[in-house]
Structures are given as C-alpha cells and as structure tokens.
Structure 1
C-alpha cells in the first residue's frame, strides 16, 4: 500500500491549466482500482492519494504520468506502507493470510 504526497511546487500557478488532465488522471486511477482515496492536503499545500494493489514501479510510472507532476505543478513523494493491522472497515488493505 502506498501514500502519494503531491506538494505544490514552483509552477503552482499553472495548476488551473492542467486541472482537467489531473482530474482525468485521478479518475483513471480509481477506474483501474489502484486509487482508494484522494484529497487535498490542508491547508491547501497539495494533494494526497492512497494507492493499493500495485507495485512500486507501476505506481512510480503512474505518478509520473500525472500532468501536475509532468508539468512541475507538484512534486511527488511516494511512501510505501506494509500494513500489519487495520480497522475491520479497512481489512481489504491487509495482505491475504
């Protein structure tokens, strides 16, 4: 499981120009079953995505394809978590026993 932190970069002013592409990128991630949560980092410093069911390499490629990343609107940091315990509502994120 991964947390992707998308923090605004020097080219933040161009976010509006690339917003449609970024939203399409998010939609594709959800449609592909890779993204399970996305939202804004408060207070308005960027965004975050929870990704599951993919490899680190495939996620790096997916993140690089985000227009916000490609156009340097945000910088991306990918954190990998090896889930060991979860609330029952999130049990699907745990590795199969």
Structure 2
C-alpha cells in the first residue's frame, strides 16, 4: 500500500484550472481499484491518495499521468507501507 502526497507548487488558481481533469484521472483509477481514498490536505496545500499496488514503478507511471504532474503543478511524494493493524471495519486494508 502507498500513501501519495501531492504538494502544490503553483498558485491555487492554476490548480483549479486543471481540477476537472485531475478528478477524471482519479475516477479512472478508483474504477480500476488502484485508489482506495483521496482528498485535499487541510489547509489546502495539496492532496493525499491512498493507493493499493504491489508495484511502485507501475504506480509511478500512473501518477505521471495526473494532470497536476503533467503541468508541473504539484510535487508528488510516495511512502510505501504494509498495514499490520486497522480500526474495526477496515480489516480489508491489511490484505492489500
């Protein structure tokens, strides 16, 4: 499993201009079951994506297709981890 953070490096107005395409990209990867959760950071300085993947290189290729990456609007950082404990109801995360 991976935690992906996106940190905006351009003004929010530029981010907003590409938000529709970014959301369409997110939806494609929810449909493929690659993404588990995503949302804005608070305060709004970027976003976070929880991704299931056993292949970092494949995930990096998907992330490179994000309009925010393609237009150099955000820095993308990836942390890989193995869930060993979960809250009740989230046990499925341990097998990802």
Give the TM-score normalised by structure 2. 0.89
The Cα of 1:12 is off from its aligned counterpart by: 4.5
Q: Which runs of 5+ in 2 are unaligned?
A: none
Aligned length: 96
Report the equivalent of 2:83: 83
Superposed CA RMSD in Å reads 1.6
- Aligned partner of 1:41 in structure 2 is 41
**Deviation digits for residues 29-85 of structure 1 (CA, Å, limit 9, x no counterpart):** 111101111111010111101011442111111111100011111110011011111
Task: Give the structure 1 partner of residue 20 of structure 2.
Answer: 20
Contact 2:53 2:59 in 1 (8 A): no
CA distance in 1, matches of 2:54, 2:30: 12
Q: Is the 8 A contact 1:12 1:73 kept in 2?
A: no
> Deviation of residue 13 (structure 1)?
3.7
Instruction: Give structure 1 stretches of 5+ with no counterpart.
Output: none
- TM score, norm. by length of structure 1: 0.88
Instruction: Please list every run of at least 4 consecutive aligned residues from structure 1 whose deviation after the TM superposition is greater than 4 angstroms.
Output: none
